[in-house]
Amino acid sequence: MTWSRQKGGVTAVALVAVGLAVGLFGQTVYNDSHNEQMYVTAGYLVAQGKRLYQDFAFVQMPYVPLLYAPFFRLTGGYFLLTAKLINYAWTGLTALLLYMAGRRWTRDSLFSLTLVVVFLSNYYITRATMEASNYTLPMALSLLGGLLMAGAYRRGAIQSGRLLLAGVALGGAIGGKLYYASLVVPCGLLTLLYPRQAAGWTRLRWGALPLAVGLAVGLGPVWYYLLRDPDRFLFNNLGYHTTNTLWRVQSGFLEDASLWGKLSIARDVLANSNVLPLVLWLALAGWLLLDRWPEMPRGDGRERLTLPVAVAGLMALTATVTAFTPSPLFPQYFAMPVPFLLLTLAALQGQLLPSQQGILRRLALVVAAISVLIILPRHTGALHNALDPEKAWSGVAAHDIAYAIRGHLVQAGHLDGEASPKVATLSPVYAIEARLDIYPELATGSFVYRIGDLLSPAERERYLATSLSTLHQLLDSDPPAAILITEEGELETPLLEYAQSRGYEPAAQFSVGQLFIR
């Protein structure tokens, strides 16, 4: 390929990547999810000085609300929009890391940009990015940890500082989402195996130990919450999820969670048009590396060349298996292995002969074209959303609805005193956006509330929970000024019945639901 054609190709692919980034931005600011209610509310409450797990429940690891809180203090409003932008920024960082890894390992800007295009056009990445929750933070930090791991061995020497930082990054990923802890296994294993010419004690002292220390540092806030109140921490991060699975089984919301059921889902995911081309690309790259294997330098040279493949490949395999472990499975879970699969492709590309690289470069462009064509209809509609914040951005809409609710409370005389009136709702973002008070027992939205009847009264008190059958007792003890019924279906029936039985009057109908005021 001539220099002018190469430059033209790079420019074209870069423009496609920018277009995809804008489309993904449009998806992010337009779409909303009931999952966001818990994450944004937790960030707001932490920003207000409330204690995570002790003053309100939060059924995930702590890092996302801890990250949101300072930004919420800084903005002073538009909390949902702020959270969405932070979420999008983590995806942008992941794309940047993929490009930098590709450039470092392949010296090929076109191939590296193609990796970014495939990443940004992946359906599972889109699903993870457009929801302000805890998918993109650990995705970026774990990828950073993998890159630091891959660069920690040079000329047979162990770069302990890099392994320390890799541990910190992995700890940050785990602090965002617990199941990223599985990635410690391949990383720890590699520190015990590399470099092969070093003594076992040397690998342990200068490899595994720095990684472990970094991991402990990265998990610093997690240790704080665990040691301060182990019972509440373990319930929110483990016990809740076990009980929630039981609730799903009893409610009929859980698909076949057996091994055969998981294998059936794996077959469907593999046949997905966003995944199958990627798998075929990986298979061809692996075959080409095996074809070149006899010609590669032996000993330290071969080890140095193939280490990035080992790091990326083992992390990709572990992430893929991990993505299938939760029950039930949702599309955004499968975002976890995508960066590592692409990182593996970059590592493989860097080990091939120029003629082999040319084959994979052309295949990469084909896969990118397929991915773009698949996602294009979704992103095309989102381009208009990105340019229309007043009408199309869900974060702006939530802010406006919240202040409309506040206005109705002012008209009803509920904001005359110093105390802020309480709003009872399973969608607390529409209250906190206008700095209205909520019930700590409903801070997670529908999550803890829906399993409340599977907990004992003592457990509900201990874990700051209520339930469908006990909600009226909570509200009678401290009646709300307003009740907002949104889109949680049967879960909101007790809330609606309470409003109707206690004389609350319909005050307004919003796009997200109906407001009742006392």
Question: What is the tens place of the pLDDT at every residue in 476-518?
Answer: 999 999 999 998 989 999 999 999 999 999 999 999 999 999 8
Question: What is the tens place of the pLDDT at every residue in 208-239?
Answer: 999 999 999 999 999 999 999 999 999 999 99
Q: How confident is residue 459, by pLDDT bands cut at 50, 70 and 90?
A: very high
pLDDT of residue 162: 96
Q: Is the pLDDT of residue 392 over 80?
A: no
Task: Give the contacts of 54 (CB within 8 A, at least 6 positions apart).
Answer: 228, 229, 232
Cα dihedral 207→210→212→215 (10° resolution): -130
Edge-to-edge, what's the strand order for the sheet holding 505-510? 423-425, 482-485, 513-517, 505-510
pLDDT of residue 262: 66
Q: How confident is residue 194, by pLDDT bands cut at 50, 70 and 90?
A: confident
pLDDT of residue 256: 55
Q: Which residue has the tokens 């109707």?
A: 500
pTM listed for this prediction: 0.93
Question: What is the tens place of the pLDDT at every residue in 65-80?
Answer: 999 999 999 999 999 9
pLDDT of residue 303: 59
pLDDT of residue 255: 59
Q: Is the pLDDT of residue 15 over 70?
A: yes
pLDDT of residue 417: 60
pLDDT of residue 224: 97
pLDDT of residue 259: 60
Q: Is the pLDDT of residue 341 over 80?
A: yes
Of the two residues 119 and 155, the one the predictor is more confident about is 119
pLDDT of residue 486: 95
pLDDT of residue 260: 64
Phi, psi at residue 505, to the nearest 5°? -105, 140
pLDDT of residue 436: 95
Question: What is the tens place of the pLDDT at every residue in 128-166?
Answer: 999 999 999 999 999 999 999 999 887 778 899 999 999
Question: What is the tens place of the pLDDT at every residue in 262-313?
Answer: 667 776 776 677 788 888 888 888 888 877 766 666 655 555 557 899 999 9
**In whole angstroms, how large is the CA radius of gyration of the chain?**
25
CA distance 485 to 500: 12
Mean pLDDT, range 246-274, rounded to an integer = 70
Q: 429: helix, coil or strand?
A: helix
CA distance 193 to 146: 16
Q: Is the pLDDT of residue 379 over 80?
A: no
Question: What is the tens place of the pLDDT at every residue in 396-454?
Answer: 999 999 999 999 999 988 887 656 889 999 999 999 999 999 999 999 999 999 999 99
Largest separation between any pair of C-alpha atoms in the chain: 82
Of the two residues 311 and 249, the one the predictor is more confident about is 311
Domain map of the chain by residue range?
Answer: 1-30+78-228+272-387, 394-517
Query: Which has the closest alpha carbon to 170: 347, 330, 306, 340?
Result: 340
Task: Among 249-263, 334-348, 446-460, name the one with the lowest average pLDDT.
Answer: 249-263
